[in-house]
Amino acid sequence: MAKLQLNHVKKTFDGKTYSVKDFNLDIMERDFIVLVGPSGCGKSTTLRMIAGLESISEGELLIDGKVANQTEPKNRNIAMVFQNYALYPHMTVEDNIGYGLKVKKEKKSEIKNKVHQATELLDLVDYLNKKPGELSGGQRQRVALGRAIVRDADFFLMDEPLSNLDAKLRVVMRSEIIQLHKRLNTTTIYVTHDQIEAMTMATKIVVMNKGEIQQIGTPKEVYNSPNNTFVASFIGSPSMNLLKCQYENGKLFVNDTDDVINLNESQKELLTKIDTNQITLGIRPEKVEIAEEHDNKRPIIHSSVEVSEFHGSETIVFSNISDFMFAAKTKGDHIYDNNAAINYTFDINDLYFFETRTGENITIKMK
């Protein structure tokens, strides 16, 4: 097993604009690292620099403590799984999986043994003589995984491997990849734009935006303690509710509404430490409840129903509050009429506070 480090790595294609900016990350043995972010954030470019498919403009890539910037891709002992599977359509499953070993001129008996072990692991034994065109999307993805497995690589790199699959199959393959990682213990670096994949698969998440790392942490850390409003809005479905407010005399006044939120003493103390009264309040949808008007023990946000989504075990209610589509997850199957008046409430201890101008999490900033 090997260790991989990226130190102050940058990438520019034109010498002016950086698509990856000052990227720093230590990847330990057996980690399952997920790089997640919107399209164009630099996650796939970072993966390709690790693989050697893109050059590094500045900074260092170290593998086992040795600078590997100029190391040929074939000498990095890395196996890559692509979004489009990259299978040879004229070859059988067996030949596709073993092709890389054949190119390396390994013994036929060794190739056959490794291919058999991989197909047993991936439940592909019955498809060895099939060609990619005869397989389902999930089976083709398993073939691509098999090709990576037989290489005995130090690192698996996966570039949005599930994005071509339908929703149901993505759930199945997600589970299979997690189980595969547990069995093989191969360090894995996985790229996706899907925060659900990141939350359910990673041992550590790297959230990226505009070429920069926004936060590194376990799924629980990133969800419960987002560094800023970008992370708060990107991780979670529906995303965290973010309402712009003015802070005055221990109270938050929600912009463009008549709603006022009284804070507790520790929250007041926190907000008096910063040099702005422009605060963005955050609250997760699952922490929001539907309130009665006479509930005067907790804050009340008054609004009307924009849309109500029935999901079976829960209903998600949306309202437009201060130009934000505010969401509440409610248990049960109650359907709320569009445009009906509705009151939201929550425990003030579940609130997050961000600086509106910078987006920074004030609690983390003031630690």
Amino acid at 215: Q
Residue 44 has pLDDT above 90, yes or no: yes
Pick the residue with more confidence: 252 or 137? 252
Q: How many residues does the chain have?
A: 367
Backbone angles phi, psi at 335, to 5 degrees: -100, 130
Pick the residue with more confidence: 360 or 367? 360
- The whole-model pTM stands at 0.93
The arithmetic mean of pLDDT across residues 30-43, rounded, is 96
Q: What is the pLDDT of residues 232-267, one digit of tens each?
A: 999 999 999 999 999 999 999 999 999 999 999 999
**Average pLDDT across the chain, whole number:** 94
CA pair distance 281, 44, nearest whole angstrom: 32
Please answer whether residues 65 and 28 qualify as being in contact, where contact means their C-beta atoms are separated by less than 8 angstroms: no
Nearest alpha carbon to residue 330 among 351, 346, 353, 350:
346
| 155-159 β-sheet, strand order | 78-81, 155-159, 187-192, 32-36, 204-209, 212-217
Q: What is the pLDDT of residues 279-303, one digit of tens each?
A: 999 999 999 999 876 667 889 999 9
In order of start, what are the domains of the chain with their CATH numbers? 4-230 (3.40.50.300), 239-365 (2.40.50.140)
CA pair distance 100, 120, nearest whole angstrom: 19
Q: Provide the pLDDT for residue 333.
A: 76
Nearest alpha carbon to residue 91 among 130, 120, 141, 144:
130
Q: Provide the pLDDT for residue 295.
A: 66
The arithmetic mean of pLDDT across residues 132-157, rounded, is 92
Nearest alpha carbon to residue 219 among 24, 96, 36:
36
DSSP 367: -
Q: What is the pLDDT of residues 15-27, one digit of tens each?
A: 999 999 999 999 9
Q: How far is CA 187 from CA 44, 77, 359, in A?
A: 17, 12, 33
Out of 52-61, 179-188, 349-358, least confident range? 179-188
Please answer whether residues 311 and 290 qualify as being in contact, where contact means their C-beta atoms are separated by less than 8 angstroms: no
Backbone angles phi, psi at 9, to 5 degrees: -75, 135
Q: Provide the pLDDT for residue 290.
A: 92
Q: Provide the pLDDT for residue 221.
A: 98
Q: How far is CA 49 from CA 8, 66, 172, 288, in A?
A: 13, 16, 29, 42
Q: What is the pLDDT of residues 325-343, one digit of tens each?
A: 999 999 877 888 999 999 9
- Kindly report the CA angle at 165 between 162 and 47, in degrees rounded to 5? 20
Q: Provide the pLDDT for residue 1.
A: 58
Residue 107 has pLDDT above 70, yes or no: yes
DSSP 140: H
Residue 86 has pLDDT above 90, yes or no: no
CA pair distance 62, 190, nearest whole angstrom: 18
Q: How far is CA 284 from CA 152, 197, 298, 317, 326, in A?
A: 42, 19, 16, 13, 10
Specify the 3-state DSSP secondary structure of 359. Answer: coil
Q: How far is CA 213 from CA 55, 193, 206, in A?
A: 19, 14, 7
Nearest alpha carbon to residue 43 among 19, 59, 67, 27:
19
